[in-house]
């Protein structure tokens, strides 16, 4: 029986952190055993690589020192020769001979000693760099059997092993998206102005979730400046008492702001649950736990005044510390809020907000829009959670093992503490959807979220309009082939071109007149690029024996060869 998680922080510290580390180490050991890498040979090669890198650094340092010496000697030699010639010109032959002799001696040292030494050092550096490159190629070749075994699902499988209540989909399906819309009220308007960069969907405690990163265009302002130099004459009285004219000049500067597209990326966790179906609120990170005693007192007083305001539907709970730290005074239903945030939930949430050692503290926004919950955690924004297997590849076996655990542990901690505010609510774990309880066959067709993510993975440059000078928002549309064997995804890339404009801004000059200062700026006009790529979905089977990683990779390569596709990502192969 799988136990509920009522104190996410305590469970992470005492159970899941070490459990995931064990799963991670076990997974890497299993991959290494399947790959059968000659570890000792790789360690020897990597030691030689490090030695070669050290030699290269030493040679470069010596080359720098000898080059500096060479330049200094050339300057001295040329200077001595010029002084010698000058001495002969001034009828000082003795001094001139001395300078010329010194210059010749330095020239001899340069040509006979310094230049040959530099040439020899550069040759040794080049030879060592060639050796270093060949050793790197050998190390990569030794690690190739292991590097080829990494796939897009390694992390999600490990996370499910660690937290059994968490299940990940092979890819985001149309049925999962339909459930979020029909059962939980997800608003598709969210996607109208955004493009999906990646999405990981699944179930936690039988309720659907999506971890996604999106890109959105918003209009910002760009500053443009222009200048105009004006000239005029003035009649002034001089010190002699007479009047005379004097020319003056002044540079006038004008600045204007014009709209400019700005692109922002954001990672969020979207979760559906039918508990408290009418409740809405938005709490934002406040770092209340880090405030001084006076700051906390002022916060509580502000909430108390709001609770006494009869025109607002807000009743403060008895746990004022929780109310001040979690601050959802904009909620619309106090009764349903109290059902969700029981004393147990309040204590768990306070632990999450106050801890910055195991977790991330108060770094998240929590929005509940009836049956849709959205968590936007600050720590997730910098985390690269596309799960691209390329991040694990390494030429050094020991470093690969270390990086594999480090990268995945960071991902696990990041995702776990994004879920933590939801896990802190017992009712969210006690309520499951009707479909999860009684079961239902789910359509295994990829949703357009996956298609947008795949288009972005291919890169906006492949689809953008030739005149586009900005980033693009990629949107997709699916068309099936007549025999249904393949699907074509058509891509629309929405970006902007620029058109030069000129505006005149009036500025008052020192001559007592207004002048029109020219300011050149660029107007951003929309353009749409087009393109397409073909996809084929790889539906995993559950009625066969579990695959080894070698069998899984072999099957993927066979699928790519049969379909003529060049890319396999999250159970979807594709080609441009």
> Mapped to the 3 state alphabet, what secondary structure does 525-576 carry?
EEEEEEEEEEEEECCCCCCCCCCCHHHHHHHHHHHHHHHCCCEEECCEEEEC
> Other C-beta atoms within 10 Å of 482: how many?
6
Q: How much of the chain exceeds pLDDT 70, in percent?
A: 91
Q: Is the pLDDT of residue 301 over 90?
A: no
Q: With bands split at pLDDT 50, 70 and 90, how would you rate the model's confidence at 539? A: confident
Q: Is the pLDDT of residue 436 over 80?
A: no
What is the rounded distance in angstroms from the CA atom of residue 378 to the CA atom of residue 363? 5
> Using CA atoms in the order 454, 458, 463, 468, what is the torsion angle rounded to 10 degrees?
110
What is the rounded distance in angstroms from the CA atom of residue 383 to the CA atom of residue 513? 57
CA angle 120, 125, 127 (to 5 degrees): 95
* pLDDT value at residue 234: 86
What is the rounded distance in angstroms from the CA atom of residue 257 to the CA atom of residue 523? 11
What is the rounded distance in angstroms from the CA atom of residue 25 to the CA atom of residue 409? 11
DSSP H/E element including 479 = strand 473-480
As a whole number, mean pLDDT of residues 18-39 equals 96
What is the rounded distance in angstroms from the CA atom of residue 570 to the CA atom of residue 576? 17
The burial class, CB within 10 Å (0-12 / 13-18 / 19+), for 366 is buried
Who wins on pLDDT, 225 or 318?
225
> Other C-beta atoms within 10 Å of 444: how many?
15
Q: Is the pLDDT of residue 313 over 70?
A: no
Lowest mean per-residue pLDDT among 69-73, 172-176, 458-462: 69-73
What is the rounded distance in angstroms from the CA atom of residue 540 to the CA atom of residue 571? 8
Q: What is the pLDDT of residues 527-538, one digit of tens each?
A: 999 999 999 998
* pLDDT value at residue 438: 42
Q: What is the pLDDT of residues 246-257, one digit of tens each?
A: 899 999 999 999
Q: With bands split at pLDDT 50, 70 and 90, how would you rate the model's confidence at 419? A: very high
C-beta separation of 363 from 378 below 8 A: yes
Domain boundaries, the chain: 39-147, 448-575
* pLDDT value at residue 82: 82
Q: Is the pLDDT of residue 442 over 60?
A: no
* pLDDT value at residue 79: 84
Q: With bands split at pLDDT 50, 70 and 90, how would you rate the model's confidence at 437? A: very low
CA angle 281, 285, 287 (to 5 degrees): 135
CA angle 191, 192, 196 (to 5 degrees): 40
Backbone phi and psi for residue 178, each to the nearest 5 degrees, phi listed first: -65, -40
Q: What is the pLDDT of residues 183-241, one digit of tens each?
A: 999 999 999 999 999 999 999 998 999 999 999 999 999 999 999 999 998 888 877 87
Rg (CA), the chain: 34
CA 311: distance to chain centroid? 44
Q: What is the pLDDT of residues 74-115, one digit of tens each?
A: 988 888 888 778 877 777 777 778 778 887 888 888 888 888
Q: With bands split at pLDDT 50, 70 and 90, how would you rate the model's confidence at 440? A: low
What is the rounded distance in angstroms from the CA atom of residue 113 to the CA atom of residue 293? 74
Helical spans, DSSP H, in 200-355? 293-308, 320-326, 334-340, 343-354
Average pLDDT of every residue of the chain: 90
* pLDDT value at residue 544: 61
As a whole number, mean pLDDT of residues 31-47 equals 96
- How many angstroms separate the Cα of 76 from the Cα of each of 70, 85, 339? 10, 14, 87
Q: Is the pLDDT of residue 294 over 90?
A: no
Q: In what order do the strands lie in the sheet with 487-508?
A: 473-480, 487-508, 514-537, 572-575, 567-569
Who wins on pLDDT, 5 or 132?
132
Lowest mean per-residue pLDDT among 55-59, 314-318, 399-403: 314-318
What is the rounded distance in angstroms from the CA atom of residue 177 to the CA atom of residue 268? 16
> Using CA atoms in the order 59, 61, 66, 71, what is the torsion angle rounded to 10 degrees?
130
Q: Angle formed by the axes of helices 115-147 and 397-423, to 10°?
A: 60
* pLDDT value at residue 98: 77
If you write DSSP's letter for every residue of 283-304 in order, what string do you get? E----GGGS-HHHHHHHHHHHH
If you write DSSP's letter for every residue of 442-453 in order, what string do you get? PP--B-HHHHHH
Lowest mean per-residue pLDDT among 98-102, 345-349, 371-375, 517-521: 98-102
Backbone phi and psi for residue 293, each to the nearest 5 degrees, phi listed first: -60, -40
CA 452: distance to chain centroid? 17
C-beta separation of 304 from 316 below 8 A: yes
């Amino acid at each position: 029986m799988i136990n509920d998680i009522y104190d996410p922080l305590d469970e992470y510290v005492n159970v899941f952190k070490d459990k995931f580390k064990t799963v991670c180490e076990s997974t890497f050991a299993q991959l290494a055993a399947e790959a059968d890498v000659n570890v000792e040979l790789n360690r020897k090669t990597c030691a030689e690589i490090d030695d070669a890198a050290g030699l290269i650094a030493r040679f470069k340092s010596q080359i720098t020192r000898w080059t500096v010496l060479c330049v200094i000697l050339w300057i001295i030699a040329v200077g001595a020769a010029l002084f010698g010639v000058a001495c002969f010109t001034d009828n000082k032959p003795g001094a001139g001979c001395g300078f010329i002799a010194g210059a010749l001696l330095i020239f001899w040292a340069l040509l006979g000693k310094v230049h040959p030494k530099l040439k020899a050092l550069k040759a040794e550096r080049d030879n060592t760099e060639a050796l270093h490159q060949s050793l790197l190629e050998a190390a990569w070749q030794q690690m190739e059997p292991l590097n080829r075994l990494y796939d897009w699902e390694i992390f999600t499988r490990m996370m499910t092993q660690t937290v059994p209540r968490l299940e990940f989909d092979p890819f985001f399906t149309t049925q999962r998206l339909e459930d979020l819309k029909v059962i939980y009220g997800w608003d598709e308007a969210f996607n109208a102005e955004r493009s999906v960069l990646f999405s990981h969907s699944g179930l936690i405690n039988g309720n659907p979730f999506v971890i996604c990163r999106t890109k959105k265009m918003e209009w910002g302002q760009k500053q443009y400046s222009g200048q105009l130099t004006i000239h005029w004459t003035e009649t002034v009285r001089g010190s002699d008492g007479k009047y005379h004219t004097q020319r003056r000049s002044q540079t006038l500067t004008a600045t204007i702001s014009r709209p400019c597209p700005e692109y922002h990326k954001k990672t969020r966790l979207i979760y559906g649950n039918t508990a408290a179906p009418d409740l809405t609120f938005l709490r934002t990170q406040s770092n209340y736990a880090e405030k001084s005693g006076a700051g906390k007192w002022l916060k509580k007083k502000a909430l108390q005044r709001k609770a006494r305001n009869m025109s607002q539907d807000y009743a403060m709970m008895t746990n004022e510390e929780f109310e001040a730290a979690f601050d959802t005074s904009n909620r619309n239903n106090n009764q349903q809020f109290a059902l969700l945030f029981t004393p147990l939930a309040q204590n768990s949430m306070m632990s999450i907000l106050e801890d910055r050692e195991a977790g991330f503290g108060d770094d998240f926004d929590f929005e509940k829009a009836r049956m849709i919950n959205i968590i936007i955690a600050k720590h997730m924004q910098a985390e690269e959670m596309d799960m691209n297997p390329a991040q694990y590849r390494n030429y050094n076996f020991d470093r690969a093992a270390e990086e594999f655990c480090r990268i995945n542990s960071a991902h696990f901690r990041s995702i776990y503490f994004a879920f933590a505010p939801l896990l802190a609510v017992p009712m969210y774990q006690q309520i499951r959807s009707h479909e999860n309880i009684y079961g239902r066959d789910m359509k295994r067709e990829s949703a357009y979220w996956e298609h947008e993510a795949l288009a972005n993975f291919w890169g906006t440059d492949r689809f953008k309009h030739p005149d586009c000078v900005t980033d693009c928002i990629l949107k997709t549309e699916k068309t099936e082939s007549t025999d249904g064997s393949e699907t074509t995804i058509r891509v629309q890339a929405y970006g902007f071109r620029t058109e030069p404009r000129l505006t005149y801004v009036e500025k008052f000059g020192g001559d007592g007149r207004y002048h029109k200062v020219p300011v050149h700026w660029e107007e951003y006009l929309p353009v749409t690029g087009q393109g397409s790529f073909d996809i084929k979905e790889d539906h995993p089977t559950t009625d066969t024996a579990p695959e080894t990683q070698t069998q899984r990779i072999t099957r993927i390569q066979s699928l790519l060869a049969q379909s003529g596709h060049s890319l396999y990502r999250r159970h979807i192969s594709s080609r441009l």
